[in-house]
Structures are given as C-alpha cells and as structure tokens.
A and B are shown apart, each in its own frame.
Chain A
C-alpha cells in the first residue's frame, strides 16, 4: 500500500493563510488542489504533518480539508485514508470536525 507524507511547513509554507487562491499564495484551496488531492489520487493513504507551522486559521483548515468533501471525497473514506499528524491534539479533532461538517452539509444539500 503506497503512502505519501506531506509536511505543510516543509513542502508548502510555515505560514499558510487564507481560504481561496485570491486570499494569498499559500491558501487552503491551493494546498488542497496542488498537494492534497494529487496525493490522494496517487496513493492509498496520505499523512499530513502539521508541525512547524506558526498557526492555522479556520479558513485555511476548513478549505483545505473540509474542501475535500466538496471536491467529491466521502468523509468515511477519508477516515481510512487520511492521517493527520500533529503534536497538538486539538488540530486533529478540529480538522475532522471540518470534514464531518462538510459531509453533513453535502448530505443536506443533496436531500433538498
């Protein structure tokens, strides 16, 4: 089983910021589209390491990870394929909250 490891601080930026591309060069949307989605397409499992970053805003985290659901990934599949590695337990639960919330929103929208 192939596994890809992505360190946001080393491979993207120590100061990721913003939701959309127009919000800055290291936005959540760009991270998702250029690093996260290709890694998920080419590997069975992906581990994202959050350590080394100055801090995250909810707009970046929500767009990068919650955005995966809007891009067509199911929250349940992500649970088995995506690993979040961080020394701060809070970030982990926060990212899964964004993924689950995006899943709930997608289900609500589909049922309307």
Chain B
C-alpha cells in the first residue's frame, strides 16, 4: 500500500500532464479529421459544380456554327473546365485518404473518364455537329456520366468519413 502511495506521490503530477496531453492529442486529431472532411466535401461540391457548368457549356457549344468565334470560345471553356476538374481530382487524391488513393482505381474513375471522352471526343472540335437525335442521345450520356461521377464521389466520401460500407462489399 505504501508503495502505491509513494508511486502516486512521485508520479501523480506527471500523470496529470500525460492525461492532459493525451486529451489534447485526441481532440486535435478529431479537429483535423473534421477539417479534412470539410475540405474534401468542398472539393467534391466544386467538382459537381464544374461538371454542371461543362454540361451547360456543351449545350451552348452544339448550338454554335463550326469554326465560329463562339464555337472556339466554347471549346476553350470546356477544355479549361476539364483541366480545372482534373486539378481538383489530383488534389483530392494527394491527401493520402484510403478512399481517394494516389493513382488508384476508384469508383469515380470510370464515369469521370466516360464524361471526358463523351464531352471532348466524337464531334468535339470537328467540322461537324451531331444530328438532332444523335445530339440528344449524346447529351443524355454526358449528363448520365456526370451524375454518376458525382454520385460515386459522394459514396467514396461517405465510406471515408462516415464508415458507410460499399454497396459491393
């Protein structure tokens, strides 16, 4: 008994400091995680906003005459927007998060690449415009790919921060 009281007497004040330090570390880690969560959420919201902007610009683009100033401006806007989108993705994947691995395969990759190919391939920057039926079909596929991209990112976000299991697991 006397050994215990001697131990408390010797190390009691230090123990209080250790408890305080551990408490601070835990609170700090939780605050950091909240901050990262907020930043990733903002990044995903930005990606969704840029994606919607691209869809709007694509509709304007299809209404322009090929080779016109309006068409060239629209093409530039779309390509620059995709570059901005890619930049956000690279930033998202450089945070060392399990659901957003560097160069890793993630659910959002497929719709993301499909969106890019559908938007800036096929008739993009050519001397032809798709006929009405083909244009409608193309817009539907582009919109779908953009929505799937946003959905996949939200799902990755929930898995990363809220522990929501994958639909496939």
Contact = CB atoms under 8 A, between A and B. Distances in A.
27 contacts: A15-B76, A17-B75, A18-B126, A19-B126, A54-B76, A54-B79, A54-B83, A55-B78, A55-B80, A56-B79, A56-B82, A57-B121, A57-B124, A57-B125, A58-B117, A58-B119, A58-B120, A58-B124, A88-B83, A88-B87, A89-B102, A90-B86, A90-B89, A90-B90, A91-B86, A93-B103, A97-B113
Interface majority SS (helix, strand, loop, mixed), chain B: helix
Contacts of B103: 89, 93
Interface in A60-112: 60, 62, 88-91, 93-94, 97
B90 A88 contact: yes
B68 interface: no
Nearest to A27: B125
A59 interface: yes
A24 B87 CA distance: 27
Interface residues of A, number: 23
Task: Give the 6 A-B CB pairs with smallest separation, nearest first.
Answer: A55-B79, A57-B120, A18-B125, A58-B121, A55-B83, A90-B86
Contacts of B75: 17, 57
B5 interface: no
Nearest to A17: B125
Interface in B78-120: 78-83, 86-87, 89-90, 93, 102-103, 113, 116-117, 119-120
A56 to B, nearest CB: 6
